[in-house]
């Protein structure tokens, strides 16, 4: 089969690989739609070290091709969504409620990390009964595929942000995860959502997904403007959706005492992440810093799919580009270099 791989740090290309075979609890899925993620760029850039000839990608849907002898829930022909994070559900971390950390910190992240990813004609799913979900008839593949990572991670930002109904929320950066954090904040009942973003098409999407106010950090000071919008109080919840030290520090500054800084960002550089001491209340302001990694699992995926089935949200507005799998090299370049006002790139198999 054809697979799109990271040949070495900074270099991608196609490769022929054998179609994978399932273990007793596993499944093989024939890929139908996939999305390119900023994390794929981090990986190719060397973020997780050298991964020679590793198949890229972790956001996909498809049709079950083969199942292992112990798989009960799925059979060949089922249309399925697979979480980007596919935990080992027997691990104590999963039993403790932190499935994404199974095996090691971030150990639930297997695709394009500890095993081949989904940018291939077929891919392998461990613990299929726990890590896949059937896609409802009314939800098309190109919509369902957003649940693998974007909805799960973005909504996690809102969920871990502990947003009170009617509360105030700032979402810092309106990339695809930030946009879904914005949508998640609205679904959670936020009373005021402030979207921080400078790119016009992302500002527009932010408003569509629920932002009441847009703050352009290139034109105004985010701390000052957020203070004005919250009568000097600060927000209940600040969601970090960029993965940058400056953004994280802003989140700490604009969160009121007792509030939550909810991180979805990937901090891939530097040794330390800074916390502004005074605005952290010298360590005593009851500000919670919450972190997490894209929750996976069948129950999670089924819940996210229900949001789409009942038309609470249309994530396909984020699809700015569509490419055939044969053209994924170009697709990757568009996503990687953020060309042509890209938000999210869909790959059709």
Residue 241 interacting with Zn ion (CB under 5 A): no
Residue 336 interacting with Zn ion (CB under 5 A): no
C-alpha 99/C-alpha 345 separation (Å) is: 28
Rounded to a whole number of angstroms, the minimum distance from the CB of residue 274 to Zn ion is 26
Length of the chain: 349
Which of 67/345 has CB closer to Zn ion? 345
Stretch that binds Zn ion, among 119-127, 145-153, 305-313, 333-341 (CB under 5 A): 145-153
DSSP-assigned beta bridge partners for residue 34: 60, 347
As given in the structure block, the two tokens for residue 78 are 């089922």
Residue 39 interacting with Zn ion (CB under 5 A): yes
Q: Which of 12, 37, 145, 239 binds Zn ion (CB under 5 A)?
A: 37
C-alpha 346/C-alpha 119 separation (Å) is: 11
Which of 44/229 has CB closer to Zn ion? 44
Helix or strand holding residue 254 (H, E): helix 245-254
Stretch that binds Zn ion, among 2-10, 147-155, 187-195, 257-265 (CB under 5 A): 147-155
In the three-class reduction of DSSP (H, G, I as helix; E, B as strand; rest coil), residue 128 is classed as helix
Stretch that binds Zn ion, among 33-41, 75-83, 196-204, 229-237 (CB under 5 A): 33-41
Backbone φ/ψ region at 181: left (φ over 0), alpha (ψ -120 to 50), beta:
alpha
Of 329, 178, 334, 142, the closest CA to residue 264 belongs to 178
Residue 112 interacting with Zn ion (CB under 5 A): no
Q: Which of 149, 159, 236, 279 binds Zn ion (CB under 5 A)?
A: 149
Residue 48 interacting with Zn ion (CB under 5 A): no
Backbone φ/ψ region at 196: left (φ over 0), alpha (ψ -120 to 50), beta:
beta
Stretch that binds Zn ion, among 144-152, 154-162, 273-281, 301-309 (CB under 5 A): 144-152
Of 293, 264, 268, 267, the closest CA to residue 100 belongs to 293
Residue ranges in contact with Zn ion by CB under 5 A: 37, 39, 59, 149
């Amino acid at each position: 089969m054809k697979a799109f791989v990271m040949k070495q740090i900074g270099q991608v290309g196609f490769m022929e690989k054998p179609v994978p075979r399932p273990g007793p609890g596993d499944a093989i899925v024939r890929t139908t739609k996939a999305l390119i993620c900023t994390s794929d760029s981090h990986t190719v850039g060397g973020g997780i070290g050298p991964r020679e000839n590793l198949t890229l990608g972790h956001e996909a849907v498809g049709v079950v091709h083969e199942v292992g002898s112990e798989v009960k829930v799925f059979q060949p022909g089922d249309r399925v969504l697979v979480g980007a994070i596919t935990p080992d559900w027997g691990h104590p971390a999963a039993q403790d409620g932190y499935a994404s950390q199974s095996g090691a910190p971030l150990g639930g992240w297997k695709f394009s990390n500890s095993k081949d990813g989904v940018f291939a004609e077929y891919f392998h799913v461990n613990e299929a009964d726990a890590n896949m979900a059937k896609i409802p008839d009314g939800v098309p593949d190109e919509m369902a595929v957003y649940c693998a990572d974007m909805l799960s991670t973005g909504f996690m930002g809102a969920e871990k942000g502990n947003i009170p109904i009617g509360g105030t929320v700032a979402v810092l950066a309106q990339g695809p995860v930030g946009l879904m954090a914005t949508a998640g904040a609205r679904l959670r009942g936020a009373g005021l959502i402030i979207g921080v973003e400078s790119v016009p098409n992302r500002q527009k999407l932010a408003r569509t997904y629920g932002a009441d106010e847009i703050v352009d950090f290139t034109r105004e000071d985010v701390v000052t403007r957020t203070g004005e919008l919250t009568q000097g109080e600060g927000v209940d919840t600040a969601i970090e959706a960029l993965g940058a030290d400056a953004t994280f520090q802003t989140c700490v500054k604009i969160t009121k005492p007792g509030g939550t800084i909810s991180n979805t960002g990937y901090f891939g550089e530097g040794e330390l992440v800074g916390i502004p001491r005074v605005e952290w209340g010298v360590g005593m302001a009851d500000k919670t810093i919450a972190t997490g990694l894209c929750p996976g699992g069948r129950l999670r995926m089924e819940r996210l799919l229900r949001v789409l089935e009942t038309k609470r949200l249309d994530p396909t507005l984020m699809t700015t580009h569509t490419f055939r799998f044969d053209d994924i090299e170009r697709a990757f370049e568009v996503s990687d270099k953020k060309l042509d006002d890209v938000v999210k790139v869909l790959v059709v198999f």
